[in-house]
Structure 1
Amino acid sequence: MEAFFIVLALVAITLTLALVVFASGRGKRSDGNLPPGSFGWPIMGETVEFLFGKPDKFVFDRMAKYSPDIFKTRILGEDTAVICGPSGHKFLFTNEHRYFTAFRPHSMQMIFRSYKEGAPPPAPAAQDEEAKVLRSPGFLKPEALVRYLGKMDSITQQQMQSEWEGKREVRVYPLAKSLTLTLACQFFVGTDEPERIARLVAYFDDITLGLHSITFNFPGTIFYRANKAAVAIRKELRAVIKDKKVAISSGTPMRDILSHMIMASDPSGKHMPEAEIADKIMGFLTAGYSTVATAMTFFMKYVGERPDIYKKVLDEQMEVAASKKPGELLQWDDMNKMKYSWNVLNEVMRLTPPLQGTFREALTDFTYAGYTVPKGWKVCNFTRLGATQPCQLL
């Protein structure tokens, strides 16, 4: 009984201190012409409504209540200004590095930056250097698709034959996830082992859900499952890294991003640690997993709902197919002939963007729509807002 009261007292003291810190922080940030809005509950802010409701409704309700241009809130542990609509989107991306720098929510930082646990967040300059190192071999440039296109076509045909051909009913999203992860593993990691990829699919589902979550790391929470999945993926990737090092030392030619990371060194000649390589590759695979699969799935959905558009897409694809010899794979010239299909895909991504929004951190105080956003606040724009009126692409 005595132990119970001690624990209860500690909890009460902790909550009291948290409320005092919260109140003092709120007093400091109340200076100036802040955007209208609410910081919600102490500590949690409005995170619960944001994560467990519908993000679109969360934003639209506050636009109607406070301002159609900008409002303040507290989500994912951060004071946040949500800039709304296409004009907000333009403002955010035309002032990159002037007012804003990249920001990853704490849940994302904890999942992907395990090799820096306990270290302070990297400075913007360090992030830029990381990006330069990763982009240097040209793997991420559009031109790289030219040499990968045939292999991508071959893998896609194999997957469709095994998963869709002859079936009365097909499930688009599971195939899309399996296909995109297979392609990502092939070109980022240089592996095409079906059993290993099948194991990874379930792990990446958990990670995707946990990227924007409350960082409660105990059994039963979304973040706990995501963290556990990240540990399992790192284990798989470290095994692949060891195999790669053996292959590289034997002189086997490698043309994937993982091999480049293993062999690359910084100006001082230091190679990247295995843990850091594993986390970066995991980030690449996650980025190339759910977003592409989501775009593919909604493409099928919207085209299936519009017979007129379906016919035009089918006619264009059949015209390209008719120009190919039996067994001949797609070439870059074939892709350039798919203009209508590409326009349809762009419209699909406009109506249902694979990413709901982007987070940035304010490098300095700035003014938008007559309101001042303080330095250090997080700034968010939701890409789906304003995309509900179909344009004339189709």
Structure 2
Amino acid sequence: MAAFLLILCLIPVVLAFSILAFARKSNDGRKNLAPGSFGWPIMGETLEFLFGKPEKFVFDRMKKYNPDIFKSKIFGEETVVICGPSGHKFLFANEQKLFTAFRPHSMQKIFRSYQMQTAAPAQISSDAEAKILKSPGFLKPEALVRYLGKMDSITQQQMQSYWEGNDVVKAFPLAKTLTLSLACRFFLGTDDPERIARLVSKFDDITLGLHSIPVKFPGTIFYNANKAAAAIRKELRSVIQEKKSAMETGQPMPDILSHMIIATDPSGKYMPEAEIADKIMGLLTAGYSTVATAMTFFMKYVGERPEIFEKILAGTNLISSPF
């Protein structure tokens, strides 16, 4: 029960960190902003957020300004944080209506290599790009059934390599390696353990840099993230070349990367390699840290509830069981 209450307490905090940066308004429109403070010039309230406990940062402002909504400035972004169940319901009920996705400037700068190329081939429109990413059958939920066997095999292999025979095991490193191994297998069509090992630390650096102050100075988190992104792009360009060579031999390639290589927009234009690398890097990043963290917490809480663990082993229906 304690674990269940802890999860409920953390949900508002975690969702609060899904920063909702509203469109910048004119000075006349600022009077309608949520209560709160933007803090110091340029830095805003970033230092308080970084060097204090994030949950305390949020709860203090909920108490001071408003329990449902407040404004702040974090990592250089003017931000509105929506709190509580009613606020979250309002947010998710109005996606693509009152709210649209916004990437922080740090994220925009990390994922923009193809935009920097002045001599790059003509870009595929955003609508055509969305169609390319959504069209293959292996992206549909029902297609996951076909991958369960391979997923199970990779998971067992990872556990044998990193856990079997050890008195003490670390869940989070395994979860990260496993997540990236599965993503590389189904996104890139590769099982190369050495390549995956090289990528793990790079994705750790990118994950930290996605929500950081966008100062590209040696030693900063953002600098390290850009350096890691450049290394990953180089690795992915190598994978793309290998994939193209393999496809020329007629080998079947049922993975997302192969589909992105051969897909064209209505005018017959292919997606540039640099853009493919950025899109794949985005897919890998999105499915890396968050999934690994969720897996780790799942193992933690199930491990603390042996009765739940036994029901999982027995294949018992858990719907009626409180977690």
TM-score range for the pair, normalised by the shorter chain length:
0.7 to 0.9
Please state if 1:94 is matched with 2:23: no
Distance 1:75 1:34 in 2: 16
Report what 1:166 is aligned to: 165
Are the counterparts in 1 of residues 36 and 61 from structure 2 also a CA contact under 8 Å?
yes
Q: Match for 2:302: what amino acid?
A: V
Report what 1:257 is aligned to: 256
Report what 1:135 is aligned to: 134
Distance 2:140 2:25 in 1: 45
Q: 1:87–1:74: structure 2 CA closer, same or farther, 3 Å change rule?
A: same
Report what 2:215 is aligned to: 216
Q: How far has the Cα of 1:165 moved from its partner?
A: 1.5
1:191-210 counterparts in 2 under 5 A?
A: 191-210=190-209
* SS of equivalent residue, structure 2 residue 252: coil
Please state if 1:393 is matched with 2:322: yes
Report what 2:156 is aligned to: 157
Q: How far has the Cα of 1:168 moved from its partner?
A: 1.1
Distance 2:212 2:155 in 1: 33
Q: 1:117–1:59: structure 2 CA closer, same or farther, 3 Å change rule?
A: farther
Distance 1:241 1:183 in 2: 18
Report what 2:289 is aligned to: 290
Are the counterparts in 2 of residues 70 and 81 from structure 1 also a CA contact under 8 Å?
yes
1:2-151 counterparts in 2 under 5 A?
A: 28=27, 31-117=30-116, 127=126, 129-151=128-150
CA RMSD of aligned residues (A): 2.1
1:241-320 counterparts in 2 under 5 A?
A: 241-316=240-315
Higher strand share: 1
Q: How far has the Cα of 1:35 moved from its partner?
A: 1.5
Q: How far has the Cα of 1:118 moved from its partner?
A: 8.6
* SS of equivalent residue, structure 2 residue 308: helix
Q: How far has the Cα of 1:127 moved from its partner?
A: 4.7
CA radius of gyration, larger in:
1
* SS of equivalent residue, structure 1 residue 139: helix
Q: How far has the Cα of 1:197 moved from its partner?
A: 0.5
* SS of equivalent residue, structure 2 residue 32: coil
Q: 1:236–1:65: structure 2 CA closer, same or farther, 3 Å change rule?
A: same
Q: How far has the Cα of 1:261 moved from its partner?
A: 0.4
Distance 1:281 1:31 in 2: 38
Q: 1:203–1:29: structure 2 CA closer, same or farther, 3 Å change rule?
A: farther
**TM-score, normalised on structure 2?**
0.85
Deviations 1:350-390 (A, max 9, x none): xxxxxxxxxxxxxxxxxxxxxxxxxxxxxxxxxxxxxxxxx
Are the counterparts in 1 of residues 128 and 265 from structure 2 also a CA contact under 8 Å?
no
Deviations 1:327-363 (A, max 9, x none): xxxxxxxxxxx642xx59xxxxxxxxxxxxxxxxxxx
Deviations 1:177-213 (A, max 9, x none): 1111111000000001011101001101111111100
Q: Match for 2:199: what amino acid?
A: L
Distance 1:89 1:159 in 2: 37
Report what 1:232 is aligned to: 231
Are the counterparts in 2 of residues 189 and 256 from structure 1 also a CA contact under 8 Å?
yes
Report what 2:176 is aligned to: 177
Unaligned runs of 5+ in 2: 1-23, 119-124
Q: How far has the Cα of 1:293 moved from its partner?
A: 1.0
Q: How far has the Cα of 1:78 moved from its partner?
A: 2.5
Q: 1:174–1:314: structure 2 CA closer, same or farther, 3 Å change rule?
A: same
Distance 1:61 1:118 in 2: 45
Distance 1:142 1:185 in 2: 18
* SS of equivalent residue, structure 1 residue 101: coil
Are the counterparts in 2 of residues 173 and 294 from structure 1 also a CA contact under 8 Å?
yes
Aligned residues: 294
Distance 1:273 1:198 in 2: 27
Q: 1:87–1:179: structure 2 CA closer, same or farther, 3 Å change rule?
A: same
Q: How far has the Cα of 1:97 moved from its partner?
A: 2.0
Distance 2:219 2:111 in 1: 20
Distance 2:88 2:178 in 1: 31
Q: Match for 1:186: what amino acid?
A: R
Are the counterparts in 2 of residues 50 and 58 from structure 1 also a CA contact under 8 Å?
yes
Report what 1:5 is aligned to: none
Identity, % of aligned pairs?
Answer: 73
Are the counterparts in 2 of residues 107 and 212 from structure 1 also a CA contact under 8 Å?
yes
Q: 1:51–1:271: structure 2 CA closer, same or farther, 3 Å change rule?
A: farther
Distance 2:176 2:32 in 1: 45
Q: Match for 1:86: what amino acid?
A: P
Report what 1:3 is aligned to: none
Q: How far has the Cα of 1:50 moved from its partner?
A: 2.4
Are the counterparts in 2 of residues 51 and 213 from structure 1 also a CA contact under 8 Å?
no
Report what 1:190 is aligned to: 189
Q: How far has the Cα of 1:79 moved from its partner?
A: 2.1
* SS of equivalent residue, structure 1 residue 81: strand
